[in-house]
Amino acid sequence: MIDGEKTIVNYLNRNELDIFSVSEIAHILPYSDFKRGFRSLKNKDFVLKLEREIYCRADFKDEYVIGSFLVKDGGIAYWSALNFHGLTEQIPNEVFVQTSHQKRSKTILGTKYQFIMVKKNKITGFITHGYGNHKFQITDIEKTIVDCFDQPQYGGGSAVLFQAFNHAKLSAIKLVKYCKAIDNIALTKRLAYLAELLNKSNMDYFMKYAMSVRNEKYSPLLPHLPVKGSTSNRKWRLLINLSKNDIINMANG
């Protein structure tokens, strides 16, 4: 191992860096020495390229840390967050990452990462897990629920969402906060209808908010299903395009 390699490896070890940007460590050696030593480590597959200027050690495989590290803001969300919080036993075959920046989805070290761009006002409700260089950002339970109902195509499907909503212990205050941030009235009405149908406890604050923002437009409960033959729910101004029994069975599933 050449001197440049030793210096870089020692620095990574001393600072417990398993994932890093080149700019974080380039200062430890003169430019030419660092370039030569780092190139040698790449050629030996000691470090692996994740994307431009971002690398990890060859034995580092934490998908949540990698996904969160690759975005400037945001972090792990949607179906991936549902699974992390134990709200579904179904494991998605890709990692969902929310960010306010446009970023092409890609496969890295055999794992597909799907980056979902949202407006900056929707980048909220993230909590930190892990420690040191292994920290990652992930949406909390309430924000995960709101996000998935806002963009259900990233949430694993209706059965997954109904069950997650039914079994999650939710803060009504946080639900209101995130519904305000997302600013999707149809989403708020859907959650209120489900909370009422499923007899969710401690939802009074949220239900009052939902009623206060309810508009006159009728929205489908499930946007991806046809509305022909739906029943109208006048209270929440929704077109219920799935039977109550089916909803309850899915939620209890």
Q: Which of 141, 89, 144, 83 is nearest to 116 (CA)?
A: 144
pLDDT digit string (tens) for 102-155? Answer: 999 999 999 999 999 999 999 999 999 999 999 999 999 999 999 999 999 999
Cα separation, 12 vs 5, in Å, equals: 11
* pLDDT (0 to 100) of residue 1: 67
Euclidean distance between CA atoms 195 and 170, whole angstroms? 11
CATH architecture of 3-57: Orthogonal Bundle (1.10)
Block residue for tokens 């020495």: 33
Give the tens place of pLDDT for each residue, 12-44: 999 999 999 999 999 999 999 999 999 999 999
In the chain, domain spans: 3-57, 63-252
DSSP annotation of 60 reads -
Helix axes 31-43, 3-14, angle to 10 degrees: 80
For residue 155, give the nearest of 107, 205, 193, 191 by alpha carbon: 191
Q: Nearest to residue 104, comparing CAs of 151, 52, 155, 143?
A: 52
Q: What is the pLDDT of residue 175?
A: 98
Phi (first) and psi of residue 111, to 5 degrees: -110, 135
Q: How large a percentage of the chain has pLDDT more than 90?
A: 94
Q: How far is CA 107 from CA 68, 116, 233, in A?
A: 15, 15, 43
